[in-house]
């Protein structure tokens, strides 16, 4: 009797324990599937937003975008631009289809033969005018996986194995392999007038985001295996919060890349992007007010008071410029950016020289507030070149005019503003000064405020 009771209770206990273990395992498996689904949804949404941002930038800053989509015709300068790693921002591969669904342009290998799946996706986008985003996730060592994905093997895998190039090296990694996770996005391309031009297909590298989310998942998943129903719910909530943090941090990182870390104003690349929106084919730059600003005697401040004081001067100057921008000073209409070590650029659309005069007068007065550094008070000043762009100006010629004006302000003794006049010199396509700041190639990168 006792043995039978013990056996019965033992079997019951074993059944309960087994049921709990099975329930925990089933719940863990269900939660794993759910979390993997959330990972995929989050990564796909992030990739689609990234692809849209890059495509908008490509269409607005590439003069030959329309001809590239229609017939594959691109200038060497545009090919160089879309192959620039700084401008790519995680884009691995670019492919264009015209409005008939015919492929016209591709970056990567020379044997351009898109798969049926890619062509079908392009035709679907043209028909419904809705984006299509597909996520591919594979192990780096699993090369056989590529053979089961003809739309990838036909393009990116071919690039990784053979190293062929047609236009730039957009699809080529330093490791010679494609990333283990990337999204293939097919997006409708519209002209400035709203007319559908074709389809832009880009491959977006989502490896970093996927790895971050998966790492978090595996850390949480270990506890889910041995958890109970209540314990399972806790890591699920923790994972959801952590996934949200990772995505938010990724978005914040992308946003921070637009701003100078020391002064908080737009950095050189970001202010150059703003300039690109005002110049180029189909753009009328007339009325764009440009203030080219140099901090006077900045090298002497660094030498005499130290780089910490130099950083303080730059932050003080940036704050004074932002505080005196027209309007609220926080929009994308009137902007200020750090263009070099001690150089700033202020852009005021739809401005006259009288408008610029009022702006730079307030900025000069504001920046002259005393700065206290290590118990020593001193006053800084600015040399400013002012120019209002004309309809025939290019980005280079407009910056050249403002640069000539600021150079003249320094020549006259600094601490003043000079408004550009033709007498200062003919606007040319090449700078007479060695730094060639409008070209954006040799001017110092403002990575630290301690540069002279």
pLDDT tens string 407-428: 999 999 999 999 999 888 754 3
Higher-pLDDT residue of 209, 178: 209
Strands (E), 88-166: 91-98, 103-106, 132-137
3-state secondary structure of 322: helix
- pLDDT higher than threshold 80 for residue 25: no
pLDDT over 80 (residue 369): yes
Tokens in use for 7? Answer: 């056996």
Per the structure block, which two tokens stand in for 363? 């900025």
Q: What is the pLDDT of residue 348?
A: 94
Beta strands in 101-194 (DSSP E): 103-106, 132-137, 181-190
pLDDT of 321:
94
Give burial (CB, 10 Å; 0-12/13-18/19+) of 321. buried
Q: Which of 136-150, 193-207, 401-415 has the lowest mean pLDDT?
A: 136-150
The pTM assigned to this predicted structure is 0.43
DSSP sequence for 182-217: EEEEEEEEE-TTS-EEEEEEEEEE-HHHHHHHHHHH
The residue ranking higher by pLDDT, 91 or 203, is 203
Mean pLDDT score, 268-292: 90
Helix axes of 229-256 and 207-225: crossing angle, nearest 10 degrees: 160
Position 384 pLDDT exceeds 70: yes
Are the CB atoms for 96 and 168 separated by under 8 Å?
no
E strands of 73-195, at which residues? Answer: 91-98, 103-106, 132-137, 181-190
pLDDT in tens, 56-74: 888 887 888 888 888 888 7
With b for 16 or more beta-carbon neighbours within 10 A and e for fewer, the 262-298 pattern comes to bbebbbbebbbbbbbbbbeeebebebbbbbbbbbbbb
Residue 88 CA to residue 407 CA, distance in Å, equals 34
Are residues 339 and 345 in contact, defined by beta-carbon separation less than 8 angstroms?
yes
**Phi, psi (degrees; rounded to nearest 5) at 26:** -65, -45
pLDDT of residue 244: 61
pLDDT band at 48 (very low <50, low <70, confident <90, very high): confident
Q: How confident is the model at residue 8 (pLDDT cuts 50, 70, 90)?
A: low
Q: What is the pLDDT of residue 4?
A: 52
Burial class, 192, CB count within 10 angstroms (exposed 0-12 / middle 13-18 / buried 19+): exposed
In this prediction, residue 224 has a pLDDT band, given cuts at 50, 70 and 90, of: low
Provide mean pLDDT across the span 78-96.
72
Name every residue whose Cβ is closer than 8 Å to that of residue 236 and which is 6 or more positions away in sequence.
Answer: 31, 34, 35, 220, 224
Q: According to the model, what pLDDT value does residue 212 have?
A: 80
Q: How far is CA 89 from CA 49, 253, 405, in A?
A: 12, 12, 35
Residue tagged 């495509």 (tokens): 55
Cα-Cα-Cα-Cα dihedral of 360, 362, 367, 368, to 10°? 110
pLDDT at 247: 59
Task: Quote the percentage of the chain above a pLDDT of 70.
Answer: 65
At residue 82, the pLDDT reads 72
Mean pLDDT of the 253-258 span: 68
DSSP state of 368: T
For 113-117, what is the mean pLDDT? 65
pLDDT at 390 over 90: yes
Cα 117 to Cα 122, 150, 188, 277, 422: the distances in Å are 9, 8, 17, 35, 58
Q: What is the mean pLDDT of the chain?
A: 75
Distances (CA, A) of 82 to 55, 89, 102, 177: 11, 10, 21, 20
Predicted pLDDT of residue 34: 75
Q: Give percent of the chain above pLDDT 90.
A: 29
The pLDDT assigned to 209 comes to 79
Q: Is the pLDDT of residue 30 over 60?
A: yes
Backbone CA torsion sign across 286, 334, 89, 55: negative
């Amino acid at each position: 009797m006792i043995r039978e009771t013990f056996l019965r209770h033992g079997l019951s206990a074993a059944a309960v324990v087994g049921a709990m273990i099975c329930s925990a395992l089933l719940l863990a498996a269900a939660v794993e599937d759910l979390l993997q689904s959330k990972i995929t949804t989050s990564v796909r949404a992030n990739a689609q937003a990234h692809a849209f941002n890059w495509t908008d930038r490509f269409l607005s800053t590439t003069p030959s975008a329309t001809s590239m989509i229609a017939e594959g015709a691109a200038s060497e300068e545009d090919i160089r631009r879309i192959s620039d790693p700084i401008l790519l921002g995680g884009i691995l591969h670019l492919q264009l289809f015209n409005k008939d669904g015919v492929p016209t342009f591709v970056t990567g290998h020379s044997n351009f033969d898109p798969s049926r799946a890619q062509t079908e996706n392009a035709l679907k986008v043209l028909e419904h005018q809705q984006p299509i985003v597909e996520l591919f996730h594979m192990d780096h060592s699993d090369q056989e996986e590529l053979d089961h994905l003809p739309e990838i093997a036909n393009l990116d895998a071919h690039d990784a194995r053979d190293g062929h190039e047609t236009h730039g090296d957009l699809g080529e990694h330093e490791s010679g392999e494609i990333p283990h996770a990337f999204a293939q996005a097919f997006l409708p391309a519209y002209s400035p007038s709203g007319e559908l031009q074709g389809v832009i297909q880009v491959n977006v590298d989502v490896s970093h985001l996927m790895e971050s989310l998966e790492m978090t998942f595996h850390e949480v998943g270990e506890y889910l295996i041995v958890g109970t129903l209540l314990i399972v719910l806790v890591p699920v909530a923790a994972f959801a919060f952590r996934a949200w943090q990772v995505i938010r941090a990724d978005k914040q990182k992308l946003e921070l890349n637009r701003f100078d870390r020391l002064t908080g104003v737009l950095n050189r690349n970001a202010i150059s992007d703003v300039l690109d929106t005002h110049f180029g084919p189909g753009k009328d730059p007339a009325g764009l007010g440009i203030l080219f600003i140099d901090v006077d005697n900045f090298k002497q401040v660094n030498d005499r008071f130290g780089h910490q004081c130099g950083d303080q001067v730059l932050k003080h100057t940036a704050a004074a410029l932002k505080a005196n921008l027209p309007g609220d000073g926080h929009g994308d209409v009137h902007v200020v950016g750090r263009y070099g070590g001690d150089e700033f650029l202020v852009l005021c659309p739809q401005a006259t020289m009288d408008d610029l005069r009022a702006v730079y007068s307030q900025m000069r007065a504001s920046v002259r507030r005393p700065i206290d550094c290590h118990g020593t008070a001193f006053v800084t000043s600015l040399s400013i070149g002012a120019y209002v762009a004309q309809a025939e100006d290019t980005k280079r010629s407009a910056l050249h005019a403002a640069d000539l004006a600021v150079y003249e302000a320094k020549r006259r003794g600094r601490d003043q503003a000079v408004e550009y006049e033709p007498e200062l010199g003919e606007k040319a396509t090449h700078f007479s000064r060695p730094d060639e700041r409008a070209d954006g190639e040799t001017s110092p990168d403002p990575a630290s405020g301690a540069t002279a």
